[in-house]
Amino acid sequence: MNEKKVLIVEDDEITALNLKISLQKQGYNILCISDNIADANIQIAKLHPEIIIIDISLEESSDGITLAKEIKTRHHLPFIYLTSYTDNEIIAQAKETEPYGYIVKPFDPNSLHATIQMALHKYDSEKNRKNELLSLKMDKSNLEKLLYSKKEAHEPIVNFGKNYHLDISICETFYKGTKIKLTKKENAFLRLLVSQMGMVVNFEQAMKYVWEESGATENSVRTLVWRLRSKLKDDIIKNASGLGYFIEE
């Protein structure tokens, strides 16, 4: 089995150790164990796990739910709750974060493995469906339609970030009314991000739309983003770990 990378967020040392040993026996690669939200966020960004197991009751509270919300909005990765809670209010709050599964303490190793495998399969299926839908939208005519649907009622502008707008009539980007000097590829990539605000533009979509010629790679996209970020006043282009980039809606 390909060693799937797992990050554990658990503040009980015995439970964390049992999880680690059990998962390693099942062939998983345990990247690290975090016992609080702050460290978990650092390690997720640094280590790029494929799935995260979160104890709901971190630090004797429901902080695991807070972490799950951050993972969903910032990291776009699948997560599974580890819980001993039976309180209906806590369970209802946990459901709102749309986890990929639940593991009840004390856990059974076989059930744990099955839950992780189902979660990974569900995540991959969702990602593939989203990519297929986005690919259908990413030809130039449909992109223009998407931008037009976002414009202000009586002006050919699309607002995004803070104090930015895209003038779709002249294909130029402005910050506080001043035009930002961008290359053709930088402008194309920014238009792609703005047209899909709130959704991740993956590397393949960026290469297909921005580079009409062949030969572009993921590193080409990363370099373009680095240069584009240097020209923008704010950090509005967000990373979706291992997937691509997005602008928050």
Give the integer Cα–Cα distance in Å for 166 and 175.
9
Extract long-range pairs of 167-176: CB within 8 Å, 24+ residues apart. Answer: 168/144, 175/232, 175/233
CATH architecture of the domain with residue range 138-246: Orthogonal Bundle (1.10)
pLDDT score for 23: 94
Tokens describing residue 91 = 């369970």
For domain 5-135, give the CATH superfamily: Response regulator (3.40.50.2300)
pLDDT score for 39: 93
Q: What is the DSSP string of 162-225?
A: TTEEEETTTTEEEETTEE----HHHHHHHHHHHHTTTS-EEHHHHHHHH--SS---HHHHHHHH
Predicted confidence (pLDDT) per residue in 47-61, tens digit: 999 999 999 887 666
What b/e readout covers 16-27, taking b as 16+ CB neighbours within 10 angstroms? bebbbebbeebe
- The half-sphere exposure of 110 on its side-chain side, counting CA atoms within 13 A, is 0
Q: How many Cβ atoms sit within 10 Å of the Cβ of residue 145? A: 11
Are 168 and 158 contacting, i.e. CB atoms less than 8 angstroms apart?
A: yes
pTM above 0.75, yes or no: no
Residue written as token pair 């992780």: 116
Phi, psi of 10 (to 5 degrees): -155, 130
Are 35 and 57 contacting, i.e. CB atoms less than 8 angstroms apart?
A: no
Are 63 and 74 contacting, i.e. CB atoms less than 8 angstroms apart?
A: no
Are 65 and 97 contacting, i.e. CB atoms less than 8 angstroms apart?
A: yes
Residue-wise pLDDT tens for the chain (249 aa)?
568 999 999 988 999 999 999 999 999 999 999 999 999 999 999 999 999 999 988 766 668 899 999 998 888 899 999 887 666 787 888 888 999 999 888 889 999 999 999 999 999 888 877 766 566 555 666 777 778 888 887 888 889 888 899 998 888 999 999 999 999 999 989 988 998 888 888 888 888 888 866 678 889 999 999 999 999 988 899 988 778 999 987
Where do the structural domains in the chain lie, given as residue ranges? 5-135, 138-246
Angle at the Cα of 159 from the Cα atoms of 186 and 132, rounded to 5 degrees: 60
Residue written as token pair 């990247």: 31
